[in-house]
Amino acid sequence: MSLLYDLSKDLNDPDIDELLLYFDRTYVNGTYKRTTIQLNGLSLWRSSPIFPPYLWNVHNATKKKNTGRTNNISEGFNNKFKTLVRTQHPNIWMFIEALQKSNSMAINKLLKIKTGTVFLTKINKYER
């Protein structure tokens, strides 16, 4: 089937609203909390998202010449993540499963570093 068909099938899933709300809170708008109730209306306070758009949005980077959108560290992560996904066009649930595996691997590595089982190696910086 087509990508559009797969996307429409995923968007009709009742659990997608919860996922979209999570994405909005975590990556776009943050959360809103009521602070006070006033006579003329409701007052809300907004907390910033955990990962605001300036951290992950590359729109401005693509407009500038000679500005890369990624670096070696993110390319390395992308290659490792691609092996976790195991398909060119995963659906949203396969993608989430790969994110969970990646998170679990990162936590395990941090625990090994903390306990001294694994040591970090010094990375020499590339100079031009």
Calculate the average pLDDT of the chain.
79
Quote the radius of gyration of the chain (alpha carbons, Å). Answer: 20
> In this prediction, what percent of the chain has a pLDDT beyond 90?
19
Ranges assigned E (strand) in 1-128: 31-38, 41-47
- The pLDDT of residue 1 is 46
Tell me the C-alpha distance between 101 and 105, whole Å. Answer: 6
Q: Calculate mean pLDDT across residues 45-72.
A: 75
Among 98, 92, 99, 95, smallest CA distance to 7 is for: 92
pTM of whole model > 0.85? no
> In this prediction, what percent of the chain has a pLDDT beyond 70?
69
Q: Residue 33: what residue type?
A: K
